[in-house]
Structure 1
Amino acid sequence: MKLFDVYPLYNVTPISAKGMVVTDDKGQEYLDFYGGHAVISIGHGHPHYVEKIKSQLDKIGFYSNAVQNPLQVKLATKLGKLSGCEDYNLFLCNSGAEANENALKMASFKTGKSRVIAFKNGFHGRTSAAVAATDNEKINAPLNKQQKVTILPFNDITAFTAEIEKGDVCAVILEAIQGVGGLEEPTSEFFQKIATLAKENGALLIADEVQCGFGRSGKFFGFQHHWDAERSQSIQPDIISIAKGMGNGFPVGGVLIHESIEASYGMLGTTFGGNHLACAATTAVLEVLENENLIENAAKIGAYFNEKAKEIPQIKSIKGKGLMLGIEFDFEVGELRKKMIYDQHIFTGGAMNKKLLRFLPALNCTKEHIDIFFNALKEEL
């Protein structure tokens, strides 16, 4: 049997990894400034993370959600405190797409409506409703296009007002910092306005924090950079979806559902979600984020990255926050990415914007790592 050919692959075969370094089958080391799509949040093979998973595997790796699992309660408590979202309830699943699928489903259950407002260049996953809300025609099958989704540009409050006031919208979903879309962001004014209008028109606001959450932006969640002036607090979404960095490579996702939204038996369900190993992995990530001050480090190293990037005249703009960053050139970066991998032995990422190089390292990245990156980039430029 052959593999279903859906990924163009670089000619690199990693066989081990530690911290920021990935080693291939020929013994070549690579600095990892992409983290497998922002998944590696605390570094490859972090000793605390490895110990927690190994220890849990020696006890029990999996049983169904039909029985008690205290590890889920421990995880929810820790996540609520560290994120500042203690007035939410947690549903655990397996991926970002699944998190967004359940978030959209919850919004439809709660409101009794079915239309979704999403935004240009947004990416929310590859499952039914999540992919329908994703602004990429190539990955939307006719089956997905049956969903009622309206895609609007960021920061166009006139267009948003016209759509939300039609009264048939169940959910407004957006990324505080777009990932695949190229690090675009809504303004705080726009974010606050859509939150207010969604509430006034009986729709739920979903913050897709799959990539920008878990400390990557320099705050626990990306939406926390946006202030609600009327209430003197950050924007408060009704639902928050999480994945990627929360498991540091272990497949885990989740949905934070505001406590004002009532649960009922059978509304959501999952076989593997919240299993013992997933809980051990995610709790370990939260403990490392807290104990090593990695969210603060993301903000500090992100600021240093910006300083260094401004020294390079070929860089036309710098996008993003914390360690979720993009540098834009006036040429397409496909060949530059190849040179960074094969000549400089550095992993970086691309985006829908073909002129943008994405930068998503582990949150314990250092200034020395940044210096190595920019020295290599200057050489290739």
Structure 2
Amino acid sequence: MKLFDVYPLYDVSPVSAKGIEVVDEKGDTYLDFYGGHAVISIGHSHPHYVNRIKSQLDKIGFYSNSIQNPLQLELVEKLEKLSNCKDYNLFLCNSGAEANENALKLASFHTGRSKVIAFGNSFHGRTSAAVATTDNPAINAPINKQQQVTFLPLNDFEAFEKAIQTNDYCAVILEAIQGVGGLDEPTTEFFQHIAETCKANGIVLIADEVQSGFGRSGKFFAFQHHDIQPDIISIAKGMGNGFPVGGILIHESIKASYGLLGTTFGGNHLACAATLAVLEVLEDENLIKNSRKLGEYFMEKATELPHVKKIKGRGLMLGLEFDFEVADLRKRLIHKQHLFAGGSKNKKLLRILPALNITKSHIDLFFDALKQELV
């Protein structure tokens, strides 16, 4: 038997990691400025995170959602405190795709409608409805294309107004900062217009915070930069710092009923312990503020680089758009500079998604390495 060959792989085999350092089987150390698609939020092998999970594993690692799990209630309280999302209820699942799948399903239940508005260069996951709202025909199978999705240009008021007049949409799904798409953002005016229009027309607004949430943008959620209130917020990635966990925050105006949503593994004891550890470290180490401050420092440093057309993003969800395609640059950074960075649908964009507890000296090392490859 072989692995199903769907991933182009770099010739690096990590065997251990701590902070933003990853060590391969040869003993070589790499600086991780990508965090496995923004997953590593508090650093690899953070001692509090490791101890939280180990301690929980000694007690109970899993039971289904047919029993009481006090860790879920502890998680709800902590999440409300740090996110300041007081008028929401939490449903836990296992991944970002599953979070968006449940968000879209719930929107359809709530409204009795089935059509969805999504935006150009969006990425919301690889499962049925989530992938249908992802702007990438190459990963949409015929079975996914049965979904009724209208893709609109980001920040196009006229196109949005024309689409919304049909009054048969259950949801608008939107990333406050596009991840895979290349760090584009809705303007505050556009986001607020969408929120107001959705409310007036009984349409569910879904804020996809799978990649931008949990402090990455310099606020707990990236939509909070725009002073709006979504109906559903999808979360995952940095939520578990590598442990598979996801969820949706559901506004109290959307009512629950038994059997409406469900999951076997979602919200299990280990997942809750991992997420609680992340929240505790974010709070104790003031990492959301650190994300904001170091994002500003990164942008200052980036102005010194040659070939940069645009600096994109917020906090530590950042992108450098060059006047050339970056695939070869990424390879050189890995193999010559021992540094991980990411790509996107925008082939000229280098994506930077480090742990939120990096330092200015780490950013200096990043730019020193990058400058060597831009000579």
**Which structure 2 residues correspond to residues 175-214 of structure 1 after superposition, within 5 A?**
175-214=175-214
Matching residue's letter, 1:317:
K
Checking the alignment, whether the CA contact within 8 Å between 1:95 and 1:244 is kept in structure 2 is yes
Which aligned segments of 4 or more residues in structure 1 are displaced greater than 4 angstroms?
none
Query: Tell me, what secondary structure is at the counterpart of 1:320?
Result: strand
**Which structure 2 residues correspond to residues 259-338 of structure 1 after superposition, within 5 A?**
259-338=252-331
Give, in angstroms, the shift of residue 165 of structure 1: 1.6
Distance 2:49 2:215 in 1: 17
Paired residue for 1:348? 341
Query: Tell me, what secondary structure is at the counterpart of 2:138?
Result: helix
Give, in angstroms, the shift of residue 220 of structure 1: 0.2
Matching residue's letter, 1:358:
R
Give, in angstroms, the shift of residue 173 of structure 1: 0.2
Distance 1:77 1:108 in 2: 28
Superposition CA RMSD, Å: 0.4
Paired residue for 2:135? 135
Matching residue's letter, 1:237:
P
- Per-residue deviation, residues 152-191 of structure 1 (Å, max 9, x unmatched): 0111111101111210000000000000000000000000
**Which structure 2 residues correspond to residues 13-24 of structure 1 after superposition, within 5 A?**
13-24=13-24
Distance 1:201 1:43 in 2: 42
Distance 1:154 1:225 in 2: 17
Paired residue for 2:144? 144
Give, in angstroms, the shift of residue 357 of structure 1: 0.1
Equivalent pairs counted in the alignment come to 374
**What fraction of aligned residue pairs are identical, expressed as a percent?**
76
Distance 2:180 2:271 in 1: 25
Give, in angstroms, the shift of residue 201 of structure 1: 1.4
Give, in angstroms, the shift of residue 313 of structure 1: 2.6
Give, in angstroms, the shift of residue 199 of structure 1: 1.3
Query: Tell me, what secondary structure is at the counterpart of 2:116?
Result: strand
Matching residue's letter, 1:208:
D
Checking the alignment, whether the CA contact within 8 Å between 1:326 and 1:357 is kept in structure 2 is yes
- Per-residue deviation, residues 70-109 of structure 1 (Å, max 9, x unmatched): 0000001100110010110000000000000000001000
Matching residue's letter, 1:373:
F
Distance 1:206 1:130 in 2: 12
Query: Tell me, what secondary structure is at the counterpart of 1:134?
Result: coil
Matching residue's letter, 1:29:
T
Output the TM-score relative to the length of structure 1.
Answer: 0.98
Matching residue's letter, 2:170:
C
Distance 1:13 1:310 in 2: 33
Q: 1:373 aligns with which of 347, 361, 366?
A: 366
Matching residue's letter, 1:366:
T
Distance 1:358 1:171 in 2: 29
Query: Tell me, what secondary structure is at the counterpart of 1:254?
Result: strand
Give, in angstroms, the shift of residue 130 of structure 1: 0.2
Paired residue for 2:60? 60
Distance 1:13 1:324 in 2: 25
Matching residue's letter, 1:221:
F
Distance 2:285 2:86 in 1: 22
Checking the alignment, whether the CA contact within 8 Å between 1:242 and 1:253 is kept in structure 2 is yes
Distance 2:350 2:309 in 1: 12
Give, in angstroms, the shift of residue 249 of structure 1: 0.1
Query: Tell me, what secondary structure is at the counterpart of 2:292?
Result: helix
Checking the alignment, whether the CA contact within 8 Å between 1:167 and 1:202 is kept in structure 2 is no
Pair 1:247-2:240 in alignment: yes
- Per-residue deviation, residues 225-252 of structure 1 (Å, max 9, x unmatched): 01xxxxxxx2000000000000000000
Gaps of 5+ in 2: none
Give, in angstroms, the shift of residue 13 of structure 1: 0.1
Give, in angstroms, the shift of residue 7 of structure 1: 0.3
Matching residue's letter, 2:5:
D
Matching residue's letter, 1:76:
V
Bigger mean CA offset, 307-316 vs 115-124: 307-316
Query: Tell me, what secondary structure is at the counterpart of 1:257?
Result: strand
- Per-residue deviation, residues 31-86 of structure 1 (Å, max 9, x unmatched): 00000000000000000000000000000000010000000000011001100101
Query: Tell me, what secondary structure is at the counterpart of 1:316?
Result: strand
Checking the alignment, whether the CA contact within 8 Å between 1:93 and 1:270 is kept in structure 2 is yes
Matching residue's letter, 2:305:
I
Give, in angstroms, the shift of residue 200 of structure 1: 1.3
Checking the alignment, whether the CA contact within 8 Å between 1:117 and 1:172 is kept in structure 2 is yes
Give, in angstroms, the shift of residue 316 of structure 1: 1.1
Matching residue's letter, 1:274:
G
Checking the alignment, whether the CA contact within 8 Å between 1:165 and 1:201 is kept in structure 2 is no
Matching residue's letter, 1:57:
L
Paired residue for 1:100? 100
Give, in angstroms, the shift of residue 217 of structure 1: 0.2
Distance 2:231 2:279 in 1: 22
- Per-residue deviation, residues 275-301 of structure 1 (Å, max 9, x unmatched): 000000000000000000000000000
Matching residue's letter, 2:364:
D
Give, in angstroms, the shift of residue 350 of structure 1: 0.1
Query: Tell me, what secondary structure is at the counterpart of 1:199?
Result: helix
Pair 1:125-2:118 in alignment: no
